[in-house]
Chains A and B, each alone.
Chain A
Amino acid sequence: MSLDVSNLPSYRYGHHSLMWWGMMGLIAIEGTVFVMTVMAYFYLWSQAQSWPLSAAPPDLLWGTLNLLVLLASIYPNHWTKRVAEHGDERKMRIGLVVCGVFGLVLLAIRALEFTTLNVRWDTNAYGSVVWVLLGLHTVHLATDVYDTLALAALMFTGPQEGRRHVDVAENAMYWYFVVYSWIPIYAVLYWMPRLA
């Protein structure tokens, strides 16, 4: 007896795909790193006489602008994910380029953000944890911008296999992680010291 599978599709989107599970694994790992760093932030705070340690809280302008642009970038990513799920490579190219441009703008804002933290990483433990938290998020940002641009380049060499369209859709998933993880990190970096 045999179970014939030759009529099954050769790729599927979302949690059906292997790529989705790999991505979720990465997100679980990196989310845990963020949580650990935030825990370290509060732990150091709990051990301190005053917080932030002999420094003014970071200026609000660039971090807040970053939050707004990140939230706005959800839309082009969502659109790209949708056209990827329809397998439309022409639209995927447009979407990926727009997402990539959003990413580059965000990296530029992020560079400015580092200049208004009002503390250096080697000033004290507060400065260290602030720089590392922001730095970690920046690594994720930069990685996904690079991924997006590489995928865009790949789509320009198309037509590609359907499972590359799954990659495009999952890239948008990862971008959501970069956006949504920024909300708590932003709250910790910018608002916790003001509440203290």
Chain B
Amino acid sequence: MNPVLEKTWRDPPGVVGMLSSINHKTIALRYLITAFAFFVLAGLAAALMRLQLAKPENTLVGPDLYNQLFTMHGTTMMFLFAVPVLLAMGVYLVPLMVGARSIAFPRMNAFSYWVFLAGGVMLWVAFFFDAGADTGWFSYPPLAGPEHSPGKRVDFWAQMITFSELSALLVAIEIIATVFKMRAPGMTLSRMPLFVWAMLVTAFMVLFAMPAVMFASSALIMDRLVGTHFYNYAEGGDPVLWQHLFWFFGHPEVYLIFIPGLGFISAIIATFARRPIYGYPAMVLALIATAFLGFGLWVHHMFAAQLPELGKSFFTAASMLIALPTAIQIFCWIATLWTGRIELRTPLLYVLAFFFILVAGGLTGIVVASVPLDLQLHDTYFVVAHLHYVLIGGAVFPLFGAWFYWFPKFTGRMMNERLGKWQFWLFFVGFNVAFFPMHQLGMEGMPRRVYTYGEAMGWGTLNFVATVGAVTIALSMLLFVINVFTSYRRGVPAAENPWRAATLEWAVASPPPAYNFDRQPVVRSREPLWELKDEIAENVSGLAEKSREVLITTVVDAFPDHRLPFPKPTIWPFVSAMAVTALFIGSIFTPWAVLWGAIPLAIAVTLWFWPKAEETKENLALEKRP
């Protein structure tokens, strides 16, 4: 511990200090905890739906509440859990893995968190006041338009999109800038950990995918509130425009949830197979290829809409094509495991489950990528099964593995292995019991998003089985929460590198000090900690300790380029986020809120950027002209 650096970099104490925090680790943990709380809420919504469907003609939940439940479940899982939780892992780990003192634009990072929190809270508060969104997580017009969904429900939904996408876009910029400009000297692009590559690719996908949905949802809310006609067929608009815009975002969304998972897997497999990942260049190229192809698949969600047949064939081919980069990665991981010395700890169990579940989800993906089969299965439980196999297998299982793997770094304590394994098996079995029968239900014609079904349909048994699976998943989550709490309080203390891993986050104390690295390392290989038995051979010296100074390096080769003073904690990002919140929520009630709300926002943002005279003086003293 370096007390001078700690004093320079730590967040201020007290309530105001809490609202002013900008340390990337503090913000990331807030993101993780908040996203997990949304995960629990969305999970409870799912549990209610499963209880309702457990037997035919059940009356536990009525149709109106059921519509809200499935909309809140999907919306929360996609927008308020999956994307933020994965980006948050990047916010915590990327600066540590590249050997930096901070994330780039730390105040913007704090701002993004408050915006995300406000958007999510708004959506759920609306739900508890019976104004929960009820048109599905992709809210197609005309159903979501002003005529068929009067009231404020869809407006809250559309504004939640604006909140959550704004926050994700800002985080994407921070991650890109951190990866490109703040890597430790010597960490060339070809020495970057695969997890960092995964987060970089994800951030680029966010940059180009999310603007589409922000435009789409803004157009929807304008149709609803100020009388535009983007999706109104009667006045020259077109509901299918929504589908194109939504899925132009929505398909890349699947991959930008999936790709961080691939990064977790590469980190975990390398550590527990005790060797570098086989085929590093192929792995990196596969990630990039997945990102590109991910933008060329959106129409496969629209096979049931009236579109040219030739176009559909193109999208079928593209959908099949994306199996290739995924397969390359899976074979590289198998090769790594095959030739390594395996330690079967809980994180690795989750990764092995990924192979099983994701491959099953990929196989049903081939089924629904084919137009004639898709027309048969569209909007049935087959699709529900497919998407949960892909998303839970592809992202949630690796995420739990990652949580077990990095928990010691976050808290300084190990998770309990025994509870972890129990939770794993309950989750794995419960997941398959819940979702596997849905394939069959879909093929038997059970449509998704119905609040009940008649006894004569014969779907009762399989639905009951699925509900038993859902309850098992809920139990496994309960075990997880117990494990987190007890391990946080009484877990075995973790040293710097409890798994004997190779990447730089394990070179610092657990939990890391506010300044991350006493001295930034100089990197000479892809596995810096495996070279000299946990010793860092060379360090960076000459950075100021009494003011926040970071080293900026060049994009490709990570040569030292300049020293840059970094901003201190301040409350203005929080105030700005509250001004944005007032503007967004106000605009649901009157369009004038956009104009009047801009004034406090402009003031807050200006004060945020306005330098303090003493800080300027301090930095001018250290300044060196280029």
Interface residues of A (CB under 8 A from B): 1-13, 15-18, 21-22, 25-26, 28-30, 32-33, 36-37, 40, 43-44, 47-48, 53, 87, 121-129, 131-132, 146, 150, 154, 159-164
Contacts and interface: CB of A to CB of B under 8 A. Distances in A.
A123 B227 CA distance: 8
Contacts, number: 186
A44 B236 contact: yes
Interface of B: 104-105, 169, 172-173, 176-177, 180-182, 185, 207-208, 210-212, 214-215, 219, 222-223, 226-230, 232, 235-238, 241, 244-245, 248, 519, 522, 537-543, 549, 551-552, 554-555, 560-565, 602, 606, 609-611, 616, 619-620, 622-626
A33 B209 CA distance: 10
Contacts of A127: 228-229
Contact of B177 (A3, A21, A30, A32): A21
B238 A159 contact: no
A26 B540 CA distance: 31
Interface of B is mostly: mixed
B598 to A, nearest CB: 9
A124 to B, nearest CB: 4
Residue among B207, B232, B555 with most chain A CB within 10 A: B207
A104 B196 CA distance: 43
Nearest to B177: A21
Contacts of A26: 173
A36 B211 CA distance: 8
Given A5-B541, A22-B173, A132-B222, A43 B105 contact: no
Nearest to B242: A40
B228 A5 contact: no
Given A32-B207, A128-B230, A44 B563 contact: no
A32 to B, nearest CB: 4
Contacts of A126: 236
B465 to A, nearest CB: 43
A159 to B, nearest CB: 7
A131 B219 CA distance: 11
A87 B230 contact: no
B620 A161 contact: yes
B562 A12 contact: yes
Given A8-B624, A29-B207, A36-B212, 15 more contacts: A4-B541, A8-B542, A8-B561, A9-B624, A10-B624, A12-B562, A16-B554, A21-B176, A25-B207, A40-B245, A44-B236, A121-B222, A125-B238, A146-B602, A154-B611
Nearest to B544: A6
A148 to B, nearest CB: 13
Contacts of A4: 541-542
Contacts of B541: 2-6
A128 B602 CA distance: 27
A18 B104 contact: yes
B238 A16 contact: no
B619 A2 contact: no
B626 A164 contact: no
B232 A125 contact: yes
A53 B229 CA distance: 12
A4 B245 CA distance: 51
A127 to B, nearest CB: 8
B393 to A, nearest CB: 30
A48 B236 contact: yes
B514 to A, nearest CB: 20
A40 B619 contact: no
A65 to B, nearest CB: 25
Contact of B540 (A3, A122, A159): A3
Contact of B625 (A9, A43, A47): A9
Contacts of A53: 235-236
Contacts of A123: 235
B236 A5 contact: no
Contacts of A44: 230, 236-238, 241
Contacts of B177: 18, 21-22, 25
A32 B208 CA distance: 6
